[in-house]
Amino acid sequence: MALTGRAALIAMIGAVAVLLAPRPAYAVLGLLLVLAALVALDLLLAGPVRPLRFRRGGERRMRLGETAEIELIVENPGRRRVRGVLRDAWPPSAGAAPRRLPLDVPAGERRRLIVRLTPTRRGDREAVAVTVRSLGPLGVAARQGSHRVPWSVRVLPPFLSRKHLPARLSRLRELEGRHPALIRGQGTEFDSLREYVPGDDVRSIDWRATARRSDVMVRTWRPERDRRVLIVLDTGRTSAGRVGTAPLLQPPGTPGPPRDAAGWPRLDWSMDAALLLAALATRAGDRVDFLAHDRTVRAWTSGNSRTETLTALVNAMAPLDAELVESDAESMVAAVLSRARHRCLVVLLTDLNPAAMDEGLLPVLPQLATRHLVLVAAVADPRVAAMAAGRGSAESVYDAAAAEHLRAERARLTARLRRHGCEVVDALPDDLAPSLADAYLTLKSTGRL
């Protein structure tokens, strides 16, 4: 049960009555009895909450930054009208609005309510409980009860870097020689012979074939297809650090980290880059697998058809969060080696953290690099770049020295990785996805896949 403001108001007005009453003690007692009677009557006449029936519908998955509508159908099988308020409780980061909905369901009817979710984080959000407060006819007291009406919404990574996709796809078409500009395809795999059309690069004329036929023939090339790309996402502690500024505007008043720490975790930037790479690679005819690992395998998708790859990837990524444990590079390499039998491009999305890399990845990297082509991609911190440029006061120069120290360490680490035959992409958060895509296209055009 629950009381309303009216009960308190009646008691307050009663205080004035007590002031004027000839026998105040009896007045107080009488008022208490009257109030108790009103509350009891109201509770008796209020529509019951327990027999209410609920059904849900609406979105099952959504991208971060979008708003989804969840509908809640309330059916009142009882004989009394249920009038009051309803709260559909979701976790705070689901951003459910409005917080409470007015409810008025006549006996034997049903009503449809809409709750809008604007999540502030990735992951699975589950409905907790539906609570109904059913007011009595006098509005003094209400019956209250909760129902469990399960529903879960998977909040997918936003894939903001898809704006870079058209430019990369057009570069890919250039590689494949299918570009309208009719320049010679830069691929390395012989595709076919076709007749010369004006505008073709004369260097691609195949004279031997021309001699055999009466027409001038040109060779066309295309990049290798059906290669394998394995994206490995490090979900260890180094991925938890927040970098840059969150590209999605957080509505004010939402729970979460304070404003000054409101960047995005490295993990999310890495996911964004991984999604662009996956989208590009599937269009280029390569097969994309995905592995998330810290001390154990956290997610693994493989063998998806080209059209389903991206969906499978966002689904696997959505519930991932950075764990506060040191990543186990040895077991990661073992996991990769056991899963990737053929040679493939292993894209390792991690942080170039000298301490963690020295003891973790570097000792086991040769095992991986001998069988596969390894590309290490890391998010650089724009704050470090800003600190390195700091001048003017002693404080900022000391900070600049610290930032330069870190950059020198990263540069040394990059050099060591390159000596092992790895490709390294170290870019600021906003540039990571396009840089990684460009690195992939370069590898593809040079036939190193």
Partner 1 sequence: MTLTATPPPAGAGTTAPGTSTSPTAATLWRRGRGVLAAALLVLVVAALTVLATGTNAPGAPLDPRDATPDGGRALAEILGDRGVRVERVSGIEEIMRLDGPDTQILLTDTSHLSTSDVTRLVQGRSDLLIAGPVAALSRLAPEARPKAQAVARSREPGCALPAAVRAGSVYLGGIAFTTPRGAVGCYPSDDGPTLVRTTGARTVTVTGDNGFMSNRRLAEDGNAALAINLAGAKPVLAWVVEPDREQGGTGTPGSGRATLGELIPAQVPWAVVQLGVALLLAALWRGRRLGPVVAERLPVAVRAAETVEGRGRLYRARRARDRAAATLRAATAARIAPRLGLAGDAGPDSIIAATALRTGQDPRWVHSVMYGPTPADDAGLVALAGHLDTLERQVREP
Summary count for the chain: helices (H), strands (E):
12, 22
Check binding of 2 to partner 1 (CB under 8 A): yes
Binders in 174-233 for partner 1, by CB under 8 A: none
Binders in 246-275 for partner 1, by CB under 8 A: 255-258, 260-261, 263, 265-266
Assess contact for 167 and 183: CB atoms under 8 A.
no
Check binding of 448 to partner 1 (CB under 8 A): no
Bridge partners of 86, per DSSP, are: 101, 132
Assess contact for 185 and 177: CB atoms under 8 A.
yes
Buried/exposed 290-323: b ≥16 CB within 10 Å, e otherwise: bbbbbeeebbebeebeeeebbebbbbbbbebebb
Buried/exposed 341-376: b ≥16 CB within 10 Å, e otherwise: eeebbbbbbbbbbeebbeebbbebbeebbebbbbbb
Assess contact for 263 and 381: CB atoms under 8 A.
no
Check binding of 147 to partner 1 (CB under 8 A): yes
Check binding of 4 to partner 1 (CB under 8 A): yes
Nearer to partner 1, 161 or 353 (CB): 353
x/- binding map, residues 399-438, to partner 1, per CB under 8 A? xxxxxxxxxx--x---------------------------
Q: Please choose, out of 168-176, 196-204, 235-243, 283-291, the segment that lies near partner 1 by the rule CB under 8 A.
A: 235-243
Q: CB 333 → partner 1: shortest distance, Å?
A: 25
Binders in 17-46 for partner 1, by CB under 8 A: 18-21, 24-25, 27-28, 31-32, 35
Of the residues 81, 111, 154, 295, which one makes contact with partner 1 according to CB under 8 A = 154
Q: CB 377 → partner 1: shortest distance, Å?
A: 15
CA dihedral 30, 36, 42, 44 (to 10 degrees): -120
Nearer to partner 1, 55 or 163 (CB): 55
Could you give the 3-state DSSP secondary structure of residue 269? helix
Binders in 330-359 for partner 1, by CB under 8 A: 351
Nearer to partner 1, 81 or 407 (CB): 407
Nearest to residue 67, comparing CAs of 3, 138, 142, 158? Answer: 158
Total residues binding partner 1 (CB under 8 A): 101
Check binding of 315 to partner 1 (CB under 8 A): yes
Q: CB 387 → partner 1: shortest distance, Å?
A: 6
Give the whole-angstrom CA distance, residue 115 versus residue 118. 10
Written as one letter, the residue type at 195 is E
Q: CB 172 → partner 1: shortest distance, Å?
A: 31
Nearer to partner 1, 148 or 342 (CB): 148
Nearer to partner 1, 21 or 335 (CB): 21
Give the whole-angstrom CA distance, residue 446 versus residue 41. 84
Written as one letter, the residue type at 138 is L
Check binding of 392 to partner 1 (CB under 8 A): yes
Q: CB 397 → partner 1: shortest distance, Å?
A: 5
Of the residues 33, 34, 53, 308, which one makes contact with partner 1 according to CB under 8 A = 53
Check binding of 372 to partner 1 (CB under 8 A): no
Nearer to partner 1, 140 or 175 (CB): 140
Check binding of 388 to partner 1 (CB under 8 A): yes
Nearest to residue 73, comparing CAs of 133, 115, 125? Answer: 115
Binders in 100-119 for partner 1, by CB under 8 A: 100
Check binding of 83 to partner 1 (CB under 8 A): no
Check binding of 376 to partner 1 (CB under 8 A): no
Nearest to residue 422, comparing CAs of 430, 431, 413, 432? Answer: 413
Nearer to partner 1, 25 or 197 (CB): 25
Q: Please choose, out of 84-92, 217-225, 417-425, 441-449, the segment that lies near partner 1 by the rule CB under 8 A.
A: 84-92
Check binding of 395 to partner 1 (CB under 8 A): yes
Of the residues 112, 383, 418, 448, which one makes contact with partner 1 according to CB under 8 A = 383
Of the residues 65, 78, 139, 145, which one makes contact with partner 1 according to CB under 8 A = 145
- What are the tokens at 408? 């020198």
Nearest to residue 164, comparing CAs of 368, 434, 444? Answer: 434
Give the whole-angstrom CA distance, residue 241 versus residue 320. 15
Alpha carbon 222 to its chain centroid, in Å, reads 34
Check binding of 283 to partner 1 (CB under 8 A): no
How many Cβ atoms from other residues are within 10 Å of residue 178's Cβ?
13
Nearer to partner 1, 226 or 260 (CB): 260
Could you give the 3-state DSSP secondary structure of residue 304? coil
